[in-house]
Structure 1
Amino acid sequence: MAKLYYRFGQMNASKSIQLLTVAHNYEEQGKKVTLFTPAIDARFGRGRIASRVGIAKDATIVEEGTNLYDVVQTEHPDCVLVDEVQFLGAHHVRQLSRVVDELNIPVIMYGLLKDYRNQFFEGSEAAVLWADQIEEIKTICADPDCNRKATMILKLKDGKPVYQGEQIEVGGNELYRSVCRRHYFNPNLDGLM
């Protein structure tokens, strides 16, 4: 029986490399995988899922009006993998749940849980609500003197923490750090820069 999985973690927790590993494992067994990535995330090129370790694959770009169910029904894959699910709409996550329920194809969604303001993204909230199984991919605080689990994302602009503003500003280590709660509220700016 197929399931809808949500694997979430902070930035730099290895989500994309895990997705790419799952895709490789399916393809190595001669099975077909459909990959989705949101249009808004073009850090490595539009329609490209990439890991910081240098591995990448092409993926179907998800726009606001993309019907993921229709794409999957046309392609008939053995598995569906979704990168950066937090940037998708709730309607997209609902379409993925239909893929599982009606087409009996497993779907694994990867992404962040919360933004830098400590609020859910629309896609991550829908993933939490509708997933059959939720798994955390853990990483440690970016502060070099801390070994706590990272549970929050700290946004830094011009060397200062930012806690207000637009929810989405796509970026990497130049903009965000995964930190524990203690360093979210009291960042060691010298250690995080």
Structure 2
Amino acid sequence: MAKLYFRYGAMNSGKSTALLQAAYNYEERGQLIVLAKPRIDTKGDQTIVSRLGVTRPVDFTVDLDDDIYTRFQAHRAAAIRDTSRDVSCLLVDEAQFLSTQQVDDLLRIAVREDVPVLAYGIRTDFQTVAFPGSRRLLEIAHSLEELKTICRCGRKAVFNGRSVDGRFVFDGDQVAIDGVDVTYESLCAACYLDESGDTLATGRRSAVPLDAGLELGPDPDFS
């Protein structure tokens, strides 16, 4: 049985570079792969773009309501028809932008289709709140691997700061990719708290009562 892998890290931790390296490793050994990414990631459009300048087109992109299982099966069938070889791996970039259902389908692809799935993405947004796709991957992936990078102070970076016109901001939409004046910086916990005035999640997640027990409902952020 194949497995679902989630390789995550802060911004600039080399996620896309690692994905492209994994793709190269498979193909160097004569294996067929399928590359995919969410369409919401406008960076590179139909292309995976690494910080080192290495690029590669994907086989398909998905919207939030697309059936990623069916899309993969179609590409797999075409590969077998055209090359008489099966697909050895599905690699997904920017997996944080997938829906919960799409992540569940990645697990089904790995288990039911016996094809390893390597998903790469960011764990949390600029307010330290998990993306829906990342949250589900952390819950169900067979294997979790953190890709590390460093903060400007030299410590390990774990959070992502959003800067607009050169100033850090902690309010706004969760997704804002490559805006004209929007940049991101990987920060350690200490530097993030310094910049945010000790604020985490900006009130998006209220404290849970200690006696809440099993009566907890779904997280309103992602329901």
Q: Please say whether Structure 1 and Structure 2 have the same fold, judged by a TM-score greater than 0.5.
A: yes
Question: What is the RMSD of the two structures over their aligned residues, measured on CA atoms?
Answer: 1.7
Q: Tell me, in whole angstroms, the C-alpha distance in 2 between the residues paired with 1:43 and 1:23.
A: 19
Aligned residue number for residue 35 of structure 2: 35
Q: Tell me, in whole angstroms, the C-alpha distance in 1 between the residues paired with 2:50 and 2:124.
A: 20
In the alignment, structure 1 residue 186 sits paired with structure 2 residue 194: yes
Aligned residue number for residue 48 of structure 1: 47
SS at the partner of 2:110? helix
Q: Greater shift after overlay, 26-35 or 66-75?
A: 66-75
Q: Tell me, in whole angstroms, the C-alpha distance in 1 between the residues paired with 2:193 and 2:92.
A: 31
Q: Percent identity?
A: 38
Q: Greater shift after overlay, 47-56 or 8-17?
A: 47-56
SS at the partner of 2:6? strand
Aligned residue number for residue 73 of structure 1: 73
Structure 1 segments (4+ residues) deviating >6 Å: none
Q: Tell me, in whole angstroms, the C-alpha distance in 2 between the residues paired with 1:90 and 1:121.
A: 10
Aligned residue number for residue 210 of structure 2: none
Q: Tell me, in whole angstroms, the C-alpha distance in 2 between the residues paired with 1:48 and 1:118.
A: 27
Aligned residue number for residue 25 of structure 2: 25
Q: Tell me, in whole angstroms, the C-alpha distance in 1 between the residues paired with 2:49 and 2:172.
A: 27
SS at the partner of 1:186? helix
In the alignment, structure 1 residue 125 sits paired with structure 2 residue 135: yes
Aligned residues: 184
Aligned residue number for residue 61 of structure 2: 61
SS at the partner of 1:153? strand
Given the alignment, which residue of 156, 162, 167 partners 1:155? 162
Query: What's the offset of the Cα at 1:29?
Result: 1.5
Amino acid at match of 1:185: L
SS at the partner of 1:156? strand
TM-score in terms of structure 1 length? 0.90
Q: Tell me, in whole angstroms, the C-alpha distance in 2 between the residues paired with 1:117 and 1:95.
A: 27
> Contact (CA 8 Å) 1:42, 1:48: kept in 2 or not?
no
TM-score in terms of structure 2 length? 0.79
Q: Greater shift after overlay, 157-166 or 10-19?
A: 157-166
SS at the partner of 1:123? helix
Aligned residue number for residue 138 of structure 1: 148
Question: CA offsets per residue over residues 126-183 of structure 1, 9 Å max, x none?
Answer: 1111100101000000x2xx11100111111122221111111013895110010111
- Structure 1: gaps spanning 5 or more residues: 188-193
Q: Tell me, in whole angstroms, the C-alpha distance in 1 between the residues paired with 2:32 and 2:176.
A: 33
Aligned residue number for residue 190 of structure 1: none
